[in-house]
Amino acid sequence: MPTIKVKGMSCQHCVASVTKALSEIEGISEVKVNLEEGEATFIEGSPVAKDTIKDAITKIGFEIVS
């Protein structure tokens, strides 16, 4: 399962925003965000470009740490 590190999440609202943004990407499902670890995992049903994920996260004000 792909895991990404998301920087800037501080509360459950952030978690909800990140979960929503990732879930809305075509091909991504089963998004789980861990606030303490600052991580998001998901199932990639079809290949998703890294930039697509990055754009979705930065658009809502967070940052992906790689």
Chain residues in the site for Cu ion (CB under 5 A): 10-11, 13-14
Residue (14 or 56) nearer to Cu ion, CB: 14
Minimum distance of Cu ion from residue 43's CB (angstroms): 24
Q: Please give the DSSP secondary-structure letter assigned to residue 36.
A: T
Q: Is 59 exposed, middle or buried (0-12, 13-18, 19+ CB in 10 A)?
A: exposed
Minimum distance of Cu ion from residue 47's CB (angstroms): 30
- The crossing angle, in degrees rounded to 10, of helices 12-23 and 50-59 is 140
Residue (4 or 33) nearer to Cu ion, CB: 33
